[in-house]
Structures are given as C-alpha cells and as structure tokens.
C-alpha cells in the first residue's frame, strides 16, 4: 500500500496585483519521500511554499492536512501540523546566540522563564544532527553564511517537523556542509519525514529525490516519479517549450560601427578588461550570477567608480564621471531591481516616464502638462503599455513595470542602452514584446548591452555574448559560436570555449 | 543519536550573558575613567552622602534611557518620553497627598504609564504607523494632559517619602539595581527575548511563531511605565509636581541609549549598554560642571561626544576593512 499523503494542496491559485502567480496548482507530500520542486526563477515556487506554511492565503483551492481540509491555513496551524520551512532568505537574529535562535518561538519554559538548561540540551541535539560544532552561546552574527544556513536548518528540526520544506538550502553551503545535509535528509526520510526540496542543482535533485513537481509560469507541468528521468529530461520539463517560438527572427543590422571602446577597464569586481560595443548589435553579458556583469554596466554608466587606460564613448574620450554625464553621452541604464532602482512605485506611470526629463530640465522651469500627457501617451503606444497612465506603477505586472522603466529613456533617444536582466520575473507574453522591441532598437542602429541570467535569451537574441567569470571576460562569443553549451562551459571555467577575446 | 553535552552547554545562560558584554568593554572602560576623574575632582563622591546624591541625579536618566532603549530594540523610537515623565510627576504630586496615600499614588502612576504606553503601542503597531509620528503626536497629548491636571507647579509629596527616596540614603542606587534585575528577568522570558527577533527580523520572527506584535506592544507599555516612574522619582526629589519638568528627557534618553550602543534599526544593543550610556552622560554633565564649563559649552561638548560615540565604531570598521 502506498503511504497516505500528510499534506495535499488541491487547485491552489494566487495572484499579486491581478498578476496570476499560481494557477490551479496541486501537490501531495508523502511521509518518507523527498519530493523535488523545480522551476525557473519566477515560476511560483516561493509562493507555493508560503501558501503551504500559511504565510500567505490562497485566492482559490484548499490545503488538506491529514485529511482535514483548510481553506486558509494560519502560520500557527501550519506549525502545529508539523510543517517547518527553511526559507531561502535567512530568518535569524544576529544579536542572539545560536541556541536562542534555534529555539525562537518554541522555547522550553520553566516558571514562565526560558529554561536554558533544556534549551541547551535540545539545541545541542539538533546541532549534532546538522554538524554544528560551534559553542551554543556564539552570536549568530559572528557565523559565516554557510553556518548560518545550518543554524536555520537546525531551527526547523528543533520543532521535530513531520513536513520539512527546504528552499534552496545548498546555495550557500560548502561541499562538506552539503554532504552533511544530504546524509541528514536521507536519515529524516528513513524516519518518515515528508520533505519538499527546492534546488537549482539538478544533479543534487537526481541523487536525492524520488518524486518531482515542475512549475512553469505558475502552472504544474509535471508531477511524476524521477525514475527514468535524466538531467536533460528535467530541463525539458522546466523549459517545456521550444525556445525558438519566443524569440523574434534574428537578422544582422546593417550598421556595425563601434560606438563605445574601453581598454584596461576596471570597476568594482572588474579588473582590466577590454570591450568594444557596436551600433546595431545586442551584446549579451552572460555567466553565473555576480561575476561582475552589474559592475560593468554601472561602471560604464558612471554610477560606480571606474578607471580605464583608454575609453571612447560616442566619439568623446574618457569615461563618464557621473550619471548625468553618461546621459549626456547618450547612455541609458535600466536596472535589474526595477522596484527599488528603476521605478518610483507609488507614483503614476506617466510621472515615472517623465522622470529623466525632469532631470534635464533647468531648475525651477515650468512643467508643461499638455506636452507631458502627449509624450506619455506616445510612449505608452510605442511600448504597448495598456490602460490608464495615471495609475500607480505598482499596480502593473512585472512585465509592464519593466516596459515603463524602458519607456522613460525613449524620449532622449539614447544610442547606447545598458539593460540589466530586463526580463527577470516577466511573463512570457511581455518577454516576447521586449525581445521584439530590443531587436527593433538594434535595427535602428542603437547599441544594446544586455546582461541576462536567462541563457536562451543570450543565445537567440544577441549578436555577441561576453561570458563573465570572476571579474573578467572568460569568452567573447560571436554570433555563429553562441550556444547554451558554449556559454555554460565558459561560465563554469571549462577551457573549450576560449575564443578570441 | 546520543548527543554529548559539551563543556559550557550546561552554563549556556551565563555564557550568553558574557557574549553580550563583548562589544561594550570600551564603553565600560570610558565610564570607569570618567567616574575616576569625577571622584578625583570631587572626593566627596566617595561617601554615602556623595554616592546617594549622585545616584539621585542619575536615576531618572537611567530610567528614561531604558525606556528609550527597549523601544529602539524593537525598531521603534519614542518622542513622548519627556511628556510621559512630566505626567508621572504631576500624577504623583496630586495623588500621594490625597485619600489613597503613597501606595495609591504609586499604583496610579504605574497604571497610567502602562496604559499610555500600551495605547501608543497599539496605535503604532496595529495600524502600522511610524513610531516617530505616533509618539510625536502622543507627546503633545500627554504633555497637554499633564498641564490639565496641574496647570502650574504644585501638589505635594509626603515628606517621609521624599526623604526615603531622595534623602541621604542610597535608595536611588538600589532602585537602579532593582530595575536592572527586573529587566534581566523579563529578558529571560520568551516574550522578552523575542524583542530582539521582532526588532531585527520581524518577518523571520513571525514565521518562527514569535508573537511579534505582542512583543512590541509590551515594549511600549514597559517604556511608558519606566517613564512615569522616572517622573515619580523627580516629584519625590523636588517635593512637588511640575507639568513641564520632563521636557529635556526625550532627547537625553535617545542620547544615552545611542551612547550605550543601542542601534536605531532594531535588534541591536543591550540594556546594560543603555544604562552605562546614561551613567556616562550623567557623569559627563557633572564633570563638566566641576571643570567650570559654561552651560552652553556643556551642550556643545555633549553633542560632540554623542556624534563621536556613534561615528567611532563606523570609522574603525571602515579602517579595518581597508587592506
């Protein structure tokens, strides 16, 4: 007989600001099984966890625990039912000790006071499980990131969970710590704990898990046993579409004249790189996260201190020393974190689009509301931003927010666009619209630098791809040499991909 | 699996306490140095009368520093502390010589502090309003209330009670220790310790099952209680109530807490630090007085020292980071 599921979610749906994040998602966790939850960034994994742990209420569907159904699960009900979540972002308090953090919210008491003796005993038990040798009185703020992650796991185990949810637990662990975790999970499985395991490391998933649920754009695309599936099969399940459909047809632009040239460029992580950016091309920046892609964009944009032996921007020698100087040289930058850096969320769409203009206007000059309205409507038309432009930007979906962040630079018609992961968290339809737009810009002779964490995007959209690794350019791939394999190989440091740099 | 209790695990509580002293050694040294300087300038300090008088001048500041620190630990702040001190003073001065006597007065003062604090807390926390605005508004209301109760300085505190608290006895010093002890006891409860988690990482604390809102509202109530008690002590010192006597305490409480290493963003700092900060501020004021600083120079020096105390850790951290 197959074991009964401890927790079952039936047809869960959730939207944020009218933007569906989960649609009709069902999942069942069984005791003694490690269940993998896979999906790309923004597929809805974190939202699903938050629903299962009661941190969010679903818009539709129900959660069934031990056969009892809940329309809305509160965090304390979820805890009582034995659900413990190891969140991706840490929930620890740095001024409290390891033991005090582990017991937080569930302290053993004596006469209303925290029973430190019992706390020490029980905390030591779970610390042994995860291999934490540190003194229990050490403040958590003193620990390196990997150890803190282990404290977080120990904290979840402290409550003796029946259902353990781990959200990318290994992303900050050393190889040794990851091994300890693997052994621990295997033990918990043997003891009958139901485990939901989220990871981007496919071989880990292949090694550890028996069952997989794949989310794609908020929908379940697979819910099956992992038996007989290989890593490539998992990737297909996650991507689930021929990537060709998403991208516009690539045609080379006629104009290929160099517009930016830097040699010996250093900024932030970057050390001594040479780079040429040409009109009419999309230059992709690939590689693992945080290898210097953002430093390159910000350094070129004058937002981060930078130096170069030689630099020419749009026929002017020298690096831009400030953002306004960069704007004057014809550069525009669209940041990755549109909520914090790209947009002013509580202001209207039109207001956001006018912002670069405000920066250029002479101080204390008068605004011209009629002209602003006309311009805003034009921009909205060009980028197909729908609806009332006086709404707050935060009411828009991620994709439309990104279009506003792009639109605001259009009136200045900048010849050089620096884009930092513009399609992160953007729905498929809008992604396609943004791709079409970028290719059109290239055809018009603009130079576009596109940093992206989405490899297919680099492959199908870009004329050249610079793969960054540890603050340098590991490989510069020309159009015919660009492939997912070549980019990943260069990013991981495999030598095969060395092409003329 | 059998878990070995490791050496030190059995004394977890005391080791945790020891860890909390670590960042404060510099402050303790400075306080000790100022105390020594003060004793050198004013040898009279080293007598029962000297200690008593000094402790009496220090106690109100120590209480309000704690009142401010507990809120800053939760990530809040109060601009109503001065007004609450005044209210405590006028309630003490109007009730203690009345029908219910000293005991009734103490109850009235304590209850008003708890209720006012809790009300501020409920408004700020439940309605998710910024603490600085809520307590600014509260400072006007509470200050007005104090003026309504006692439009001009007056009322009376029974002489024996004044003598007991503010006579030639070190009662004030005993009270400081008592309050510090009660704080330790509170911090040893789950609700008390949750303050740190609720201040630094409210979302994480909430997910871990900490009653974040309750912990914060309790902090406001305790803060109100400490403030009105400071007012009661000041009334005992002066023998009467003054509806505006607390004004200077709002900013001084922040100064003392900041000197004591309590952070503005919540979850950072210790109560022993705040008490040491208030002691430092008190001694500093006394030492500058003995050195013959004019009052204006005292204010300027006070300000410079506070800026220095806040900037110093930043500067040393930056210096260390540089290779």
- A96-134 pLDDT, tens digit each: 999 999 998 889 988 889 999 999 999 999 999 888 888
Cβ neighbours, 10 Å, residue A477: 24
- Position A497 scores a pLDDT of 37
Which residues neighbour A450 within 8 Å (Cβ) at sequence distance 6 or greater? A282, A283, A284, A285, A419, A422, A438, A457, A458, A461, A462
Q: Which residue, among B1, B12, B21, would best test binding to A if mutated, counting the most A CBs under 10 Å from its CB?
A: B12
Q: Is residue A383 part of a domain?
A: no
SS3 content of chain B, % helix, strand, coil (to 5): 75, 0, 20
User: What proportion of chain A, given as a percentage, has pLDDT over 90?
Assistant: 21
- Position A245 scores a pLDDT of 64
Q: Is residue B285 part of a domain?
A: yes
Q: Is residue A26 part of a domain?
A: yes
Q: Which of A90, A95, A137 sits opposite B267 (nearest CB)?
A: A95
Inter-chain contacts counted by CB atoms under 8 A, chains A and B: 109
More confident of the two residues A367 and A451: A451
Considering its fold, how many domains does chain B have in total?
Answer: 1
Q: Is residue B322 part of a domain?
A: no
Average pLDDT estimate for B127-137: 92
- Position A226 scores a pLDDT of 83
Q: What is the pLDDT of residues B183-239, one digit of tens each?
A: 999 999 999 999 999 988 888 888 888 889 999 999 999 999 999 999 999 999 998
B323 pLDDT above the threshold of 50 = no
Q: Is residue B35 part of a domain?
A: no
Please answer yes or no on whether A76 and B196 come within 8 Å at the CB atom: no
Q: Is residue A471 part of a domain?
A: yes
Chain A from 85 to 104: CB within 8 A of any B CB: 85, 87, 90-97, 99-100, 104
Which residues neighbour A175 within 8 Å (Cβ) at sequence distance 6 or greater? none
Q: Is residue B123 part of a domain?
A: yes
Q: How far apart are CA A404 and CA A389, in angstroms?
A: 10
Of A346-360, B170-184, B200-214, give the range with the top mean pLDDT: B170-184
Average pLDDT estimate for A50-77: 86
Please answer yes or no on whether A114 and B189 come within 8 Å at the CB atom: yes
Listed residues A225, A243, A261: the one ending a domain? A243
- Separation in Å, CA of B120 to nearest CA in chain A: 25
Please answer yes or no on whether B205 and A121 come within 8 Å at the CB atom: no
Q: Is residue A2 part of a domain?
A: no
Verify that A166 and A312 share a domain, yes or no.
Answer: no
Q: Which domain range does residue B122 map to?
A: 48-308
Which pLDDT band, with edges at 50, 70 and 90, does B297 fall under?
A: confident
- Separation in Å, CA of A98 to nearest CA in chain B: 10
Q: Which of B16, B190, B200 sits opposite A109 (nearest CB)?
A: B190
Verify that A88 and A207 share a domain, yes or no.
Answer: yes
Q: Which residue, among A73, A100, A137, would best test binding to B if mutated, counting the most B CBs under 10 Å from its CB?
A: A137
Contact A400, A385 (CB under 8 A): yes
Please answer yes or no on whether A124 and B210 come within 8 Å at the CB atom: no
Q: Is residue B11 part of a domain?
A: no
Q: Is residue B33 part of a domain?
A: no
Strand runs labelled E in chain B: none
- Position A498 scores a pLDDT of 41
Partner A contacted by B193 (CB < 8 A) = yes
Strand runs labelled E in A194-278: 194-198, 211-216, 219-225, 258-267, 270-278
A155, closest residue in chain B (CA to CA): B208
Q: Which helix (H) or strand (E) holds B206?
A: helix B202-207
The least confident of A68-82, B146-160, B164-178 is: A68-82
Q: Is residue B212 part of a domain?
A: yes
SS (H, E, C) A337-362: CHHHHHCCCCCEHHHHHHHHHHHHCC
Which pLDDT band, with edges at 50, 70 and 90, does A222 fall under?
A: confident
Listed residues A218, A243, A268: the one ending a domain? A243
Partner B contacted by A118 (CB < 8 A) = no
Listed residues A243, A261, A288: the one ending a domain? A243
- Separation in Å, CA of B86 to nearest CA in chain A: 34
- Position A239 scores a pLDDT of 64
Which pLDDT band, with edges at 50, 70 and 90, does B58 fall under?
A: very high
Q: Which of A452, A404, A465, A392 is nearest to A430 (CA)?
A: A404
Q: Which of B5, B13, B189 sits opposite A121 (nearest CB)?
A: B5
Verify that A187 and A317 share a domain, yes or no.
Answer: no
If you write DSSP's letter for every residue of A385-415 in order, what string do you get? --S-TTSBGGGS-HHHHHHHHHHTTGGG--S
- Position A375 scores a pLDDT of 83
Question: Both tokens of residue A219?
Answer: 């929908």
Please answer yes or no on whether A91 and B200 come within 8 Å at the CB atom: no
A254 pLDDT above the threshold of 50 = yes
Q: Which of B271, B272, B275 is nearest to B256 (CA)?
A: B275
A200 pLDDT above the threshold of 90 = no
Verify that A133 and A18 share a domain, yes or no.
Answer: yes
- Position A495 scores a pLDDT of 46
- List Cα–Cα distances, B312 to A405, B20, B28, B304, in angstroms: 40, 19, 15, 12
Q: How many Cα atoms within 13 Å fall on the side-chain side of residue A29?
A: 28
Q: Which residue, among A89, A92, A120, would best test binding to B if mutated, counting the most B CBs under 10 Å from its CB?
A: A120
For residue B124, the 8-state DSSP code is I
What average pLDDT is seen over chain B?
A: 89
B1 pLDDT above the threshold of 70 = no
- Position A360 scores a pLDDT of 67
Q: Which domain range does residue A296 map to?
A: 245-330+414-497
Q: How far apart are CA B80 and CA B67, in angstroms?
A: 11
Please answer yes or no on whether A128 and B6 come within 8 Å at the CB atom: no
Of A252-256, A271-275, A347-351, A494-498, give the range with the top mean pLDDT: A271-275
Q: Is residue B36 part of a domain?
A: no
Verify that A215 and A302 share a domain, yes or no.
Answer: no
Please answer yes or no on whether B189 and A104 come within 8 Å at the CB atom: no
- Position A501 scores a pLDDT of 39
Considering its fold, how many domains does chain A have in total?
Answer: 2
Q: Is residue A154 part of a domain?
A: yes
Please answer yes or no on whether B207 and A100 come within 8 Å at the CB atom: no
What average pLDDT is seen over chain A?
A: 83
- Whether pTM exceeds 0.95: no
Please answer yes or no on whether B196 and A93 come within 8 Å at the CB atom: yes
B209, closest residue in chain A (CA to CA): A105
Q: Is residue A230 part of a domain?
A: yes
Verify that A220 and A251 share a domain, yes or no.
Answer: no
Q: Which of A406, A436, A397, A449 is nearest to A282 (CA)?
A: A449
Which residues neighbour A178 within 8 Å (Cβ) at sequence distance 6 or greater? A170, A204
**CATH number of the domain within which A91 lies:** 3.40.50.300
Verify that A318 and A232 share a domain, yes or no.
Answer: no
Q: What is the pLDDT of residues A464-501, one digit of tens each?
A: 999 988 888 988 988 888 887 788 777 766 544 344 33
Verify that A483 and A437 share a domain, yes or no.
Answer: yes
Question: Both tokens of residue A82?
Answer: 């034995």
Q: Which residue, among B17, B23, B208, would best test binding to A if mutated, counting the most A CBs under 10 Å from its CB?
A: B208
Verify that A200 and A294 share a domain, yes or no.
Answer: no
Q: Is residue A407 part of a domain?
A: no
Sign of the CA dihedral B135, B141, B146, B149?
negative
Q: How far apart are CA A409 and CA A393, in angstroms?
A: 16
Partner A contacted by B182 (CB < 8 A) = no
Q: Is residue A171 part of a domain?
A: yes
Verify that A236 and A321 share a domain, yes or no.
Answer: no
Please answer yes or no on whether A136 and B267 come within 8 Å at the CB atom: no
Verify that A204 and A297 share a domain, yes or no.
Answer: no
- Position B317 scores a pLDDT of 65
Q: Which residues pair with A1 in a beta bridge?
A: none
Q: What is the pLDDT of residues B223-246, one digit of tens each?
A: 999 999 999 999 999 988 999 999
A163 pLDDT above the threshold of 90 = yes
Verify that A118 and A228 share a domain, yes or no.
Answer: yes
- Separation in Å, CA of B193 to nearest CA in chain A: 8
B4 pLDDT above the threshold of 60 = no
Partner A contacted by B197 (CB < 8 A) = yes
The least confident of A351-365, A388-402, A474-488, B266-280 is: A351-365
Which pLDDT band, with edges at 50, 70 and 90, does B27 fall under?
A: confident
Average pLDDT estimate for A242-253: 70
């Amino acid at each position: 007989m197959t074991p009964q599921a401890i927790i079952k979610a039936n047809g869960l749906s959730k939207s944020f600001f009218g933007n569906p994040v989960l649609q009709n998602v069902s999942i069942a966790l069984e005791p003694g099984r490690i269940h993998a939850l896979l999906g790309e960034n923004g597929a809805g994994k974190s939202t699903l966890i938050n629903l299962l742990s009661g941190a969010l209420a679903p818009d539709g569907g129900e959660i069934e625990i031990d056969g009892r159904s809940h329309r809305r699960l509160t965090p304390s009900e979820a805890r009582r039912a034995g659900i413990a979540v190891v969140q991706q972002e840490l929930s620890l308090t740095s001024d409290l000790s390891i033991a005090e953090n582990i017991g937080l919210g569930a302290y053993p008491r004596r006469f209303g006071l925290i029973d430190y003796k019992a706390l020490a005993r029980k905390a030591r038990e779970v610390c042994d499980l995860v291999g934490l040798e540190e003194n229990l009185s050490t403040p958590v703020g003193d620990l390196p990131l990997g150890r803190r992650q282990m404290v977080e796991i120990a904290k979840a185990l402290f409550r003796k969970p029946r259902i353990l949810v781990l959200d990318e637990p290994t992303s900050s662990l050393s190889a040794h710590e990851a091994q300890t975790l693997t052994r621990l999970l295997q033990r918990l499985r043997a003891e009958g704990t139901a485990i939901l395991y989220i990871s981007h490391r496919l071989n880990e998933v292949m090694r550890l898990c028996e069952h997989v649920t794949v989310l794609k754009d908020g929908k379940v695309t697979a819910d099956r046993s992992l038996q007989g599936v290989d890593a490539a099969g998992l990737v297909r399940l996650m991507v689930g579409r021929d990537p060709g459909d998403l991208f516009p047809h690539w045609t080379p632009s006629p104009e290929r004249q160099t517009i930016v040239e830097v040699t010996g460029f250093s900024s932030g992580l970057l050390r001594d790189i040479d780079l040429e950016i040409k009109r009419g091309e999309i230059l992709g920046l690939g590689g693992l996260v945080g290898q210097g892609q953002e430093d390159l964009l910000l350094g070129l944009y004058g937002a981060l201190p930078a130096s170069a032996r030689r630099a020419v921007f749009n026929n002017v020698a020298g690096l831009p020393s400030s953002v306004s100087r960069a704007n004057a040289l014809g550069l525009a930058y669209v940041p990755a974190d549109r909520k914090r850096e790209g947009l002013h969320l509580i202001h209207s769409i039109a207001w956001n689009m006018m912002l670069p203009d405000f920066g250029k206007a002479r101080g204390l000059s008068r605004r011209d509301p009629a002209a602003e309205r006309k311009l805003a409507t034009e921009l909205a038309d060009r980028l197909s931003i729908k609806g009332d432009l006086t709404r707050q930007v935060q009411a828009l979906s991620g994709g439309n927010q990104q279009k506003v962040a792009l639109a605001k630079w259009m009136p200045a018609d900048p010849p050089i666009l620096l884009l930092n992961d513009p399609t992160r968290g953007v729905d498929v339809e809008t992604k396609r619209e943004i791709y079409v737009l970028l290719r059109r810009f290239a055809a018009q002779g603009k130079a576009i630098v596109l940093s992206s964490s989405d490899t297919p995007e680099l492959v199908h959209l870009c004329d050249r791809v610079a793969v960054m690794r540890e603050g340098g350019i590991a490989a510069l791939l020309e159009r015919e040499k660009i492939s997912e394999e070549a980019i990943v190989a260069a990013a991981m440091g495999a030598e095969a991909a060395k092409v003329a740099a | 699996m059998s878990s070995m209790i490791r050496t030190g695990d059995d004394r977890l509580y005391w080791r945790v306490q020891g860890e909390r002293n670590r960042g404060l050694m510099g402050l303790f040294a400075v306080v000790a140095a100022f105390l020594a300087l003060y004793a050198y300038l004013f040898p009279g300090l080293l007598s029962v009368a000297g200690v008593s008088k000094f402790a009496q001048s220090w106690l109100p500041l120590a209480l309000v520093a704690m009142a401010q620190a507990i809120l800053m630990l939760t990530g809040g702040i109060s601009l109503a502390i001065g007004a609450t001190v005044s209210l405590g003073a006028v309630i003490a001065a109007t009730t203690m010589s009345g029908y219910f006597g000293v005991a009734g007065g103490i109850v009235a003062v304590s209850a008003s502090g708890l209720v006012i604090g809790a009300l501020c807390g409920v408004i700020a926390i439940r309605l998710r309003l910024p603490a600085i605005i809520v307590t600014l508004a509260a400072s006007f209301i509470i200050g007005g209330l104090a003026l309504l109760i006692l439009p001009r300085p007056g009322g009376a505190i029974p002489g024996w009670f004044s003598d007991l608290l503010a006579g030639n006895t070190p009662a004030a010093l005993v009270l400081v220790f008592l309050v510090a002890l009660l704080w330790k006891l509170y911090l040893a409860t789950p609700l008390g310790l949750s303050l740190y988690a609720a201040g630094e990482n409210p979302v994480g604390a909430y997910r871990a099952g900490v009653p974040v809102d309750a912990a914060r509202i309790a902090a406001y109530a305790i803060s109100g209680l400490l403030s009105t008690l400071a007012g009661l002590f000041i009334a005992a010192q002066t023998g009467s109530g003054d509806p505006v006597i607390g004004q200077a305490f709002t900013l001084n409480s922040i100064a003392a807490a900041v000197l004591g290493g309590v952070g503005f963003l919540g979850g950072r700092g210790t109560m022993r630090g705040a008490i040491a900060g208030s002691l430092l501020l008190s001694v500093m004021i006394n030492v500058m007085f003995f050195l013959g600083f004019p009052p204006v120079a005292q204010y300027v020096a006070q300000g410079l020292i506070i800026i220095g105390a806040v900037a110093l850790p930043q500067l040393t951290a930056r210096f260390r980071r540089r290779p």
